[in-house]
Amino acid sequence: MAPTLQQCPVCFNHYRSTPDGKLCRHGGKVKGQECSGSRKKVDSSGARAASSRRPCGQPKLGVGRPDGCTLIPWRAGRCLAWDVAVPSTLAERYVNLTSKECGLAAARAADEKMKKYGNALPSMEFLPICIEVLGPMDPNTLKFLKAICKMISVRSGDSRELFFATNHISCLLQRCFQRANIPTIKEPTGLMEEGSLRPDGYTISPWAQGRFLAWDVTFPHTMAERYINFTSQEAGAAALRAADFKNSKYAALAESKIFQPVCIETFGPTDAQTQSFLNELCSRIVEISGDPLDKSYVKQSFSILLQK
């Protein structure tokens, strides 16, 4: 039997296994030390993949298929199946609820998913993932996403991931300005007396009212401890707080230039100022290209960066 790739239950990385089903020796999380999962026999169902998209055969007849399921146990020895719903916060069926309390559309959608799949998957743990279009989510989804984020941070061990995301968004903005025929420079120096403060970008030609535009990107985490009390009650609250901080930080620059904070949360919501700016930038791109689909293309580009 040829060796296959299997996932180590300790470090969660994939390694070759021997014909008898044991993992080959490999390093652990601490450099120079062997992982305690070396030479352990693992379940062959974990080979090559940890999850399956739209699995068939699990639910009872007439129920349909969930969006995905794990191929290795998630908790208490049971695999996890999930199904995603994105209810509209202002939909007619939900607006009477969401106008009174934040997140009720997601909670109602989660109840509907549980009724559909709860008893149809007796051997698996089922989780409805419900996030409203304006950001709020039900408590179980929030708890699940926290667990996933913790696993990612433990596995990657890289605290710079949010910095990379911010840099990608700043570069995307520069490309958007170029498509709108607006020349820009990255991280200009000399705009402020405080030499250590430099915005992410600056237009070389006037943006509006004969004034140049400087922007600075921030990427606040929707579930960060400093924001969670606000984002659990109102979508986009983290972006709004981050925008206020950026405006106060670059207040001296705003006296002679137009300063634009670009604040996009990790889960997608933005503040009103950022949304207005992106809409204006997309409109200028469409004016130059003549293609109305360019507006959708730009928004999809931001969406893809958020998913990464």
Say yes or no: 178 and 117 in one domain. no
Q: What is the pLDDT of residues 232-291, one digit of tens each?
A: 888 888 889 999 998 888 888 877 889 999 888 877 788 888 888 888 888 888 888 888
Dihedral (C-alpha) 8, 11, 13, 16: value to the nearest 10 degrees?
A: -40
Say yes or no: 185 and 239 in one domain. yes
Which strands sit side by side in the sheet containing 258-263, from one edge to the other? 184-186, 201-203, 213-218, 258-263
Determine the structural domain holding residue 110 and report its residue range: 51-156
What's the rounded Cα separation, in Å, for the pair 154 and 147? 11
Say yes or no: 18 and 123 in one domain. no
Of residues 259 and 168, more confidence is placed in: 259
Sign of the CA dihedral running 216, 222, 225, 227: positive
Say yes or no: 168 and 94 in one domain. no
Of residues 308 and 137, more confidence is placed in: 137
Mean pLDDT in residue range 60-64: 54
Say yes or no: 79 and 119 in one domain. yes
Say yes or no: 174 and 301 in one domain. yes
Say yes or no: 29 and 139 in one domain. no
Specify the pTM: 0.46
The strand pairing partners of 171, in sequence order, are none
Of residues 150 and 92, more confidence is placed in: 92
Say yes or no: 124 and 149 in one domain. yes
User: Which residues are within 8 A (CB) of 31 and not within 5 positions of it... i.e. 6 or more apart?
Assistant: none
Strands 213-218 and 258-263, sheet pairing: parallel
Q: What's the number of domains the chain is made of? A: 3
What's the rounded Cα separation, in Å, for the pair 156 and 13? 11
pLDDT-derived band of residue 14, with 50, 70 and 90 as boundaries?
low
pLDDT number for residue 255:
78
pLDDT number for residue 88:
80
Say yes or no: 112 and 147 in one domain. yes
pLDDT at 303 over 70: no
pLDDT number for residue 249:
87
pLDDT at 56 over 70: no
pLDDT number for residue 48:
36
pLDDT number for residue 167:
60
Of residues 258 and 49, more confidence is placed in: 258
pLDDT at 89 over 60: yes
What's the rounded Cα separation, in Å, for the pair 122 and 205? 63
User: Which residues are within 8 A (CB) of 155 and not within 5 positions of it... i.e. 6 or more apart?
Assistant: 12
Which of 198, 205, 200, 165 shows the shortest CA–CA distance to 186?
200
Say yes or no: 76 and 208 in one domain. no
pLDDT-derived band of residue 47, with 50, 70 and 90 as boundaries?
very low
Say yes or no: 149 and 167 in one domain. no
pLDDT number for residue 4:
44
Contact 259, 181 (CB under 8 A): no
Q: List Cβ<8 Å contacts ≥24 apart for 138-143.
A: 138/103, 138/106, 138/107, 138/109, 138/110, 139/107, 140/110, 141/106, 141/110, 142/223, 142/232
